[in-house]
């Protein structure tokens, strides 16, 4: 999530009552919440927590709006601007989906329309209660029930701008564990099919951004790329699934969290759980380019060895150790 300020257009909190293996029911608020400093802190904190959470799914709306009515509900809300009605209809759908998942738990359901410099979105989060401790007016210790602001189990977001522009990835949600998160994905109506090739390309892009941001020396950069290529090639060969935290720890063990923060940045839109496509990791080790009159491919290591020299002043490449066959063909011209 961007650090730019959030502007809350609408905010409401309803309640979902649900115990594991029990029925689901809802308690609906009858009015939107006023946007005061407490509301702003709550939304800012949850949005920031959501943005930094790893393991999100990304996708678009399912096409069957009879089975997955979320796009129709959002469309109607954008047409009539009745946020209260929209939120209550969402709760009806959430109740249906929670009823279908035995292990689902209830909590307070925050629904907000938020805008910032990065996006205009609908945010839905299920927040649990937690028992803390406070000191009362008589200076006695007593229990205090409050919202668990440090743990976000179930949440999702719809990027309205990307959706309206015809984009392909505008719904995101926390994957969580097993079927407990799956019911929320169904509630959002999200089709989150992951394309391993595209995800691997985004991972490579994230690594390139990382080495640039860290201003690594050429040998350090080559070492990071070499380590990443070896790891991802092995995972692709053995059908191992990517976990961003584990990948960051193996590729950059000196400061894994720094790399993980880059890889899980929302602008990159990278998800966990895909098997690396080995075709997409070649740029980590090789340069490949083409112009109307030539094509060229060479290893990054050749720049270090001097086999390939780039002169930035004349914008030319000098190739050494020309193969005999190519040399002969050139001499015959």
Please give the chain's pLDDT, 333 residues, in tens: 445 689 999 999 999 999 989 999 999 999 999 999 999 999 999 999 898 776 677 889 999 999 999 999 999 999 999 999 999 999 999 999 999 999 888 999 999 999 998 899 999 999 987 767 778 787 777 766 657 777 788 999 999 999 999 988 899 888 765 556 789 999 999 987 667 888 899 999 999 999 999 999 988 999 999 999 999 999 998 888 898 999 999 999 999 999 999 998 878 888 777 889 999 999 998 888 888 888 888 888 888 788 889 988 999 999 988 889 988 888 888
Task: Tell me how far apart the alpha carbons of residues 188 and 126 are, in angstroms, rounded to a whole number.
Answer: 13
CB contact burial 110-125 (16+ within 10 A = b; e otherwise): bbbbbbbebbbbbbbb
State whether 186 and 38 are in the same domain.
yes
Alpha-carbon distances of 221 from 227, 287, 290, rounded to whole Å = 10, 14, 24
**Measured distance CA(261)–CA(179) in Å, rounded:** 27
Q: Report the candidate in 259, 268, 275, 266 with the shortest Cα–Cα distance to residue 197.
A: 275
Give pTM, 2 decimals.
0.66
**Residue 157: domain span:** 7-191
Q: Does residue 1 form part of some domain?
A: no
Among the residues of the chain, which ranges form H helices? Answer: 37-52, 70-80, 83-99, 160-164, 178-188, 196-213, 218-238, 244-251, 256-263, 301-305, 324-331
Number of domains in the chain: 3
**Planar angle of CA 77, 16, 192, nearest 5 degrees:** 60
Contact 188, 70 (CB under 8 A): yes
- 227 & 323 share domain: no
Position 244 in a domain: yes
Chain-centre distance of CA 5, in angstroms? Answer: 20
In a domain, 47, yes or no: yes
Query: Which of 115, 119, 205, 112 lies closest to 165 in space, CA to CA?
Result: 119
- N-terminal to C-terminal alpha carbon distance within the chain: 58
Is residue 2, in this structure, part of any structural domain at all? no
What's the confidence (pLDDT) of residue 82? 96
- Asked if residue 77 and residue 215 are part of one domain, the reply reads no
Backbone angles phi, psi at 101, to 5 degrees: -115, 105
Tell me, yes or no, whether 128 and 239 share the same domain: no
266 and 323: one domain?
no
């Amino acid at each position: 999530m961007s650090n730019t300020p959030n502007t809350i257009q609408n905010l409401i909190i309803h309640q979902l009552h649900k115990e594991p293996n029990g029925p689901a029911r809802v308690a609906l608020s009858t009015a939107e919440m006023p946007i005061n400093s407490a509301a702003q802190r709550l939304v800012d904190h949850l949005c920031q927590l959501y943005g930094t959470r790893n393991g999100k799914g990304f996708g678009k709306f399912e096409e069957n709006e009879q089975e997955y009515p979320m796009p129709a509900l959002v469309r109607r809300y954008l047409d009539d601007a009745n946020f209260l009605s929209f939120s209550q209809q969402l709760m009806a759908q959430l109740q249906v989906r929670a009823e279908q998942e035995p292990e689902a738990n209830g909590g307070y359901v925050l629904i907000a329309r938020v805008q910032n410099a990065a996006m205009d979105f609908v945010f839905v989060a299920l927040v649990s209660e937690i028992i803390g401790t406070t000191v009362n007016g008589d200076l006695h210790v007593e229990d205090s029930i409050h919202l668990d602001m440090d743990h976000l189990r179930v949440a999702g977001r719809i990027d309205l701008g990307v959706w309206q522009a015809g984009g392909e990835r505008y719904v995101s949600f926390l994957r969580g564990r097993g079927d407990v998160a799956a019911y929320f994905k169904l509630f959002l109506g999200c089709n989150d099919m992951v394309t391993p090739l595209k995800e691997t390309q985004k991972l490579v892009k994230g690594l390139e951004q990382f080495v640039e941001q860290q201003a690594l020396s050429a040998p350090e950069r080559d070492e990071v790329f070499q380590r990443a290529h070896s790891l991802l090639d092995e995972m692709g060969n053995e059908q191992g699934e990517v976990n961003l935290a584990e990948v960051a720890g193996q590729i950059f063990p000196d400061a894994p969290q720094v790399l993980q923060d880059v890889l899980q940045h929302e602008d990159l839109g990278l998800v966990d759980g895909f098997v690396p496509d080995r075709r997409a990791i070649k740029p980590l080790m090789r340069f490949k380019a083409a112009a109307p009159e030539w094509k060229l491919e060479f290893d990054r290591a050749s720049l270090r060895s001097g086999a390939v020299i780039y002169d930035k002043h004349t914008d030319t490449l000098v190739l050494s150790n020309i193969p005999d066959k190519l040399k002969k063909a050139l001499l015959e011209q």
